[in-house]
Every structure is written in C-alpha cells, then in structure tokens.
Amino acid sequence: MRRVYDHDMGEIKKGPWKAEEDEVLMKHVKKYGPKDWSSIRSKGLLQRTGKSCRLRWVNKLRPDLKK
C-alpha cells in the first residue's frame, strides 16, 4: 500500500473505517455540527482528510439517513 503524507500533519489514513474512528467523528459532529470537516484533522482527532470525514458522515453515519 502506498503511503500518502500531508507535509504539515503526517500520514493520511486510507481504507476501511474503524468503529473508534466513527465514534470520534460522531462526537465531533455532535459538538460542532456537520461543518468544518478539515478541523477534525488539524485538531489531531483523526488522520483522515476533511473530505473523507464529510463523506463518511453523509453516506453512513448521519441520523436521518434512510438505509
């Protein structure tokens, strides 16, 4: 697997999400709302891109999602 680095923040994680990551993302959204996705990475909460966090929320985790 090729490693991808953000020169300011270190390694960017790719691949399947873990339950712990989902929990961190849900707590962040509960506290700050579904916005400012890049701050999750800059605060050191997850090693995922803001786009990846937004897509995870929109497609898998948001409460009003019809499954």
Lowest mean pLDDT among 10-14, 27-31, 44-48: 10-14
Residue 32's H or E segment, with its range, is helix 19-32
pLDDT at position 50 over 50 = yes
Break the chain into its structural domains and give their ranges.
Answer: 4-61
Say if residue 8's pLDDT is above 80.
no
Q: Which long-range contacts (CB under 8 A, 24 or more apart) does 5-11 make?
A: 6/41, 9/41, 9/42, 9/47, 10/47, 11/47
- Average pLDDT of 5-25? 83
CATH of domain 4-61: 1.10.10.60
Q: What is the pLDDT of residue 1?
A: 47
Per cent of the chain over pLDDT 70 is 85
